[in-house]
Amino acid sequence: MSKISLKKEARIKEDILRLLYDRYPGFHYTNVVSYEILRNNEFVLRLLDELMKEGLVSFIDEKGGRGIRRKWSLKKEVFERYKELLP
């Protein structure tokens, strides 16, 4: 697999944040996010974990028949900050 530059990785994170902003306050599965931004599930999960460590997104675990699945959303404080910045 080819390596993605840090600059492109940052742009993909921006795409993820924009998607979650547009669909706030809903929570979305990792596979939905990866489908919408046309990226691999594992790659998107890694980026979402990094965004979580940065304090930008949160998740809830959903336990079901196939194990634990995560649903992601922007944190309320982050949504409010973005709302002030965007026209």
Residue matched to tokens 């949504």: 79
Angle of CA points 79, 80, 82, to nearest 5°: 65
Residue-wise pLDDT tens digits, 43-76: 999 999 999 999 999 888 877 767 778 888 888 8
Q: Which two tokens stand for residue 15?
A: 């795409």
Q: Count the neighbouring beta carbons within 10 Å of the beta carbon of residue 11.
A: 11
Q: Can you list the alpha helix ranges (DSSP code H) found in the chain?
A: 6-22, 30-36, 41-53, 76-85
What domains are defined for the chain? 6-85 (1.10.10.10)
Residue type, 84: E
Residue-wise pLDDT tens digits, 8-24: 999 999 999 899 998 88
The whole-model pTM stands at 0.83
